[in-house]
Chain A
């Protein structure tokens, strides 16, 4: 039980240290409020929005609609479009948050329009990306309206020229214009309908929710820096060597130090969850949230041992920890959502604790259960084991 007393002692020391509390608790609270208020909309608008275009139409109308996403200069500025052939796969990517939306053109689209029958475009959107979704929806609506108008024009023209044999092109043009204007005014441009489906699994997330998760994870990682500080300071202040001169085994001393970092991290997370819950954030399934928190804090604890082993002095700990933590925060989505990164950069978030942790937290916030976050929990525990193994192997005790 000596490890328990070592861990509890570290927790007590941290609780009494106002500077540590300021960094571990007050800073994330302030940043959650500032970032969610000031950067929320900006974050949603950064970069091109990734969407999928699924054109199943055998005729030419579907191609006329969808080609614009790849050839039109304005649309190319807004969207990073990719062609897909499986509507279900596209929906799954939107559901996973990999895409902001998907537009599906049905197989009989041209045939139905050409025979005067209405058709429906399907739109999948992610409620977690409100602004990107709105833009995508507007473009799709505009396209469906244009195709409907073209359909009316074609049918009007065919009626006057073929059936009534009118040969005056000016007259035919005026009649077509009248027909389209009338259809627009009466809301009868319904040749092409738009059916929107939210592809994400659960609730829409606010920017406050996003940054509550993102900042909490980042400052849990800063907790690992304090853990590394504690190990190096104890070595320098001779309390660590003194512990080793007592009958307490080294494994128990290290276990106690890790327990301290873990307890501090869990307390920190609990306070931040309580604080943001008061602000209205819904963290979702409690068990899933606790699992994600424990595995994230576990990874931070392993990182603390790793940093203490690599850095020999308090100053070196500070430098190395800040470099690692800020890199992981940046690529893992703590500052801005990973979805706004260029495509080549997005996979980097799998290399960071933050990426796996934020992904899991957002999943629970959207209604995901324990099963949904298990892959992330496994990845975080794997990182914890890797950091700890290297750290324990390289740790200098005296």
Chain B
């Protein structure tokens, strides 16, 4: 084992790069994941998160850089690395015409399980997924959330040292989302190290001990939640949902005294209304399906600025639907670092 691994780093990624033609999907990424922690990779779609974990999972070869898992090099000891990994892909990578039980038995065998041990681990995984009573039903008959839970169960039966989860809550109902988040907590509590990617900052805030924020193939910030929030200082986010955005209104907002930055994003396409959680850690991750847009204003003096922001919008003819003020969070960190929303 490497020195890094003995020192508590389960994963060490150094100067990792991946190019597809002229496009640099990952561009010089370095980070470590400590044994026993939940490490989050946060970034918008296309930031390079999936490419990064595909390289850690030995699926695609890096163009440059090195990766070690448990002291073994992905480049030279792929078989040993794969034995230490459990991967939950973003897609529902299951066989829809097979039952959950058949799927889990198959994936268990792919990880080398057999006999009584396989039976025990399948039962355990089904109970963790909360689907033991529906194990003999075909996966194609499941809801999206149930499929996601079996998708996760298929990756943990061999009790990997590192569980890699790529956007595991995309497109599911609130109950399943909360179930998954609690499952990740539980697995981590049992000692499993987790690499969790998401573009939902609330999930990452809820789960992760440390977070790497990715954008355009690079890690633009890395640290604990507190360390990252300190990057923003005492800036709050004033989030205004408007029915329409008149021309020139963003420049007018930037001119307001006390406003540090302004962004505007469409909210409609992000998630279905049925996904909206009633409450809980994932609640903020969900947006609406209408055509409204969200203007986000960063300000160190939100209390004084909010009235001016609403007034400017009103004078410009924008129809304000709601106004929300938040303390610094990962969203505002991303906004602060990139000048854009996570969901742009």
Contacts and interface: CB of A to CB of B under 8 A. Distances in A.
Contact of B57 (A9, A16, A245): A245
B109 A241 contact: no
Give the residue among A13, A237, A243, A246 with the most B Cβ atoms within 10 A: A246
A247 interface: yes
A398 interface: yes
A244 B109 CA distance: 13
Contact of A239 (B79, B82, B85, B95): B95
A185 interface: no
B93 interface: yes
A2 interface: yes
B89 A5 contact: no
A238 interface: yes
Given A9-B106, A398-B60, A242 B89 contact: yes
Nearest to A9: B106
Contacts of A13: 95, 97-98
A349 B48 CA distance: 51
Interface in B59-104: 59-60, 79, 82-83, 85, 87, 89-95, 97-98, 102
A12 interface: yes
A248 B94 CA distance: 17
A241 B93 contact: yes
Given A244-B59, A245-B57, A237 B93 contact: yes
A389 B317 CA distance: 67
A237 B85 CA distance: 20
B93 A239 contact: yes
Main secondary structure of the interface of B (DSSP, over half): loop
B285 to A, nearest CB: 23
Contact of B89 (A17, A241, A249): A241
Counting contact residues on chain B (CB < 8 A from A), the size range is 20 to 34
B112 interface: yes
A254 B333 CA distance: 45
Interface in A1-25: 2, 5, 9, 12-13, 16-17
Given A245-B57, A245-B82, A247-B111, A17 B91 contact: no
A245 B85 contact: yes
B264 interface: no
A242 B93 contact: yes
B87 A242 contact: yes
Nearest to B110: A246
B59 A5 contact: no
Interface in B117-154: 154
B242 interface: no
A246 B91 contact: no
Given A237-B91, A245-B87, A16 B110 contact: no
A243 B89 contact: no
B39 interface: no
B111 A5 contact: no
Contacts of A247: 79, 82-83, 110-112
Contacts of B95: 9, 13, 239
A12 B103 CA distance: 12
B119 to A, nearest CB: 15
Give the residue among A5, A17, A245 with the most B Cβ atoms within 10 A: A245
Nearest to A12: B98
Given A246-B82, A247-B83, A241 B59 contact: yes
Nearest to B89: A238
B200 interface: no
Nearest to A244: B59
Interface in A377-398: 398
B266 to A, nearest CB: 28
B247 to A, nearest CB: 42
A14 B91 CA distance: 22
Contacts of B60: 398
Nearest to B82: A247
Nearest to B91: A238
B58 interface: yes
A13 B87 CA distance: 23
Contacts of B83: 247
Contacts of A239: 93-95
Contacts of A398: 54, 59-60
Contacts of A9: 95, 98, 102, 106
Contacts of B111: 246-247
Contacts of B92: 237-238
Contacts of A243: 110
B194 to A, nearest CB: 16
A12 B94 CA distance: 14
A248 B110 contact: yes
A246 B89 contact: no
A16 B97 contact: yes
A193 B55 CA distance: 84
A245 B91 CA distance: 14
Give the residue among B58, B109, B154 with the most A Cβ atoms within 10 A: B109
B148 to A, nearest CB: 13
Given A9-B98, A242-B89, 10 more contacts: A16-B97, A238-B92, A239-B94, A244-B58, A244-B59, A245-B58, A245-B89, A246-B110, A247-B111, A249-B79
5 contacts: A242-B89, A245-B85, A246-B111, A247-B110, A249-B79
Interface of A: 2, 5, 9, 12-13, 16-17, 237-239, 241-249, 398
Q: What 5 A-B pairs are tightest by C-beta distance, nearest first?
A: A238-B91, A238-B93, A242-B93, A246-B110, A247-B82
Interface of B: 54, 57-60, 79, 82-83, 85, 87, 89-95, 97-98, 102, 106-107, 109-112, 154
